[in-house]
């Protein structure tokens, strides 16, 4: 039987519940959410499947050690205790990242170099390997020290899972793909129902909705660091990948559309939707100010990420736009409207209290996701 690993899914604050539910649906065990992440247990094959399928989380880790740590000596011993040669086969580049919060050890740089030193010492000690060319694939090791508790982890994803591969150019203030997917999920929209983003920019919300409708795994077009870990050499990840790819059906992408006033952003949206694997007519895109938008579908869901007016000079214009969103909603009384903003005056400018609100982070910016039925 495949060995089981204690694992951790790192995610943005506010999305832990979505990540936990998705992990359970994918068959992970012992799922428990905490601030900014979710713990779970999974086999190598399950972890690979999760890397392919997870829409909302940033990275998936194998937890190698999780213990109190208040000194560099303790950190060295903690890292040295791991059997690194199970994961390392001789030429990988050992890439250590580190994050310290509210702890005696507060220098990520020092923790990083102690960790790398302890890994190399341990491999020297247990395999007699003396030189480390680091010319092969990456072995990404991530260390967090939080409240004097250190977690030594292997990053199985490699680059963040938000990097699906379809977004190659960024417009003005694009949304991270994982947050866009969370907005679609939290809106209550279901594939087959009309969905329109009236400020679609480079099309991230639309591309994520199309992936969900087509049952296309968001990670299918990219690779993951775990594919070159020594302990997974005998695993048939190619078979899992091809079975996952066979589930995709682009003909299920229907009634997803977007509009914006910026022609350059719309050009990028077209490119991103095509690069996500969909034909140009699968998602309709139009240059229309939301003030003039009139859709003829009976009901549907507007999902949008309007400008926030973070700079004072833009604030008035953005607040006028929030009022125009209410007018859009009034022209489409049977449609649901969902919008994310960091502006505390959103509801006042919109002119009505949302039926549901959810605190989410767009990068470091604290935002609220407002849902009007």
Ligand X SMILES: C[S@@+](CC[C@H](N)C(=O)[O-])C[C@H]1O[C@@H](n2cnc3c(N)ncnc32)[C@H](O)[C@@H]1O
Contact footprint for ligand X (CB under 6 A): 171-175, 198-199, 201-202, 204-205, 260-262, 265, 289-291, 305-307, 321
Residue closer to ligand X by CB (options 310, 355) is 310
Residue closer to ligand X by CB (options 50, 179) is 179
CB of 233: closest distance to ligand X in angstroms?
Answer: 38
Residue closer to ligand X by CB (options 18, 303) is 303
**Dihedral angle, C-alpha 339, 370, 250, 202, nearest 10 °:** 20
Task: Determine contact, residues 88/123, Cβ cutoff 8 Å.
Answer: yes
Residue closer to ligand X by CB (options 100, 199) is 199
CB of 259: closest distance to ligand X in angstroms?
Answer: 6
CB of 275: closest distance to ligand X in angstroms?
Answer: 14
Q: Is 236 exposed, middle or buried (0-12, 13-18, 19+ CB in 10 A)?
A: exposed
Closest CA to 129 of 139, 138, 119, 116: 119
Residue closer to ligand X by CB (options 16, 208) is 208
CA dihedral (214, 218, 222, 225) positive or negative: negative
Partners of 6 in beta bridges: 41
Q: Is 112 exposed, middle or buried (0-12, 13-18, 19+ CB in 10 A)?
A: middle
Closest CA to 213 of 257, 259, 170, 169: 257
CB of 55: closest distance to ligand X in angstroms?
Answer: 15
CB of 237: closest distance to ligand X in angstroms?
Answer: 30
Closest CA to 196 of 70, 329, 310: 329
Block residue for tokens 């660091």: 225
Residue closer to ligand X by CB (options 39, 319) is 319
Cα-to-chain-centroid distance, residue 11:
7
Greatest alpha-carbon span in the chain = 73
CB of 251: closest distance to ligand X in angstroms?
Answer: 25
């Amino acid at each position: 039987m495949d060995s089981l690993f204690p694992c951790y899914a790192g995610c943005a604050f506010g999305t832990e519940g979505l990540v936990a539910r998705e992990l359970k649906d994918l068959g992970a065990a012992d799922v428990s959410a905490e601030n900014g992440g979710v713990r779970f247990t999974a086999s190598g094959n399950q972890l690979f499947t999760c890397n392919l399928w997870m829409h909302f989380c940033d990275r998936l880790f194998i937890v190698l050690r999780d213990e109190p740590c208040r000194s560099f000596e303790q950190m060295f011993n903690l890292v040295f205790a791991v059997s690194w040669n199970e994961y390392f086969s001789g030429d990988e580049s050992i890439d250590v990242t580190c994050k310290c919060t509210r702890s005696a050890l507060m220098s990520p740089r020092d923790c990083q170099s102690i960790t790398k030193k302890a890994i190399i010492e341990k491999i020297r000690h247990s395999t007699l390997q003396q030189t480390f060319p680091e010319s092969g694939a990456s072995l990404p090791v991530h260390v967090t020290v939080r409240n004097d508790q250190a977690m030594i982890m292997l990053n199985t994803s490699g680059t963040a899972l938000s990097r699906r591969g379809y977004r190659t150019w960024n417009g003005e203030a694009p949304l991270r793909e994982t947050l866009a997917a969370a907005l679609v999920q939290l809106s209550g929209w279901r594939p087959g129902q009309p969905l329109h983003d009236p400020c679609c920019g480079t099309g991230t919300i639309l591309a994520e909705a199309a992936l969900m409708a087509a049952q296309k795994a968001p990670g299918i077009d990219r690779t993951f660091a775990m594919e070159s870990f020594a302990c997974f050499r005998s695993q048939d990840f190619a078979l899992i990948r091809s079975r996952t790819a066979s589930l995709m059906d682009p003909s299920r992408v229907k009634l997803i559309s977007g509009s914006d006033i910026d022609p350059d952003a719309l050009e990028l949206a077209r490119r991103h939707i095509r690069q996500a694997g969909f034909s140009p007519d699968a998602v309709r895109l139009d240059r229309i100010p939301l003030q003039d938008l009139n859709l003829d579908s009976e009901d549907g869901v507007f999902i949008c990420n309007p400008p926030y007016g973070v700079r004072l000079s833009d604030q008035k214009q953005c607040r006028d736009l929030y009022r125009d969103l209410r007018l859009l909603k009034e022209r489409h009384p049977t449609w649901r409207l969902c919008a994310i903003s960091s502006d505390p005056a959103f509801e006042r400018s919109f002119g009505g209290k949302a039926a549901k609100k959810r605190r989410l982070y767009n990068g470091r910016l604290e935002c609220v996701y407002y849902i009007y039925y």
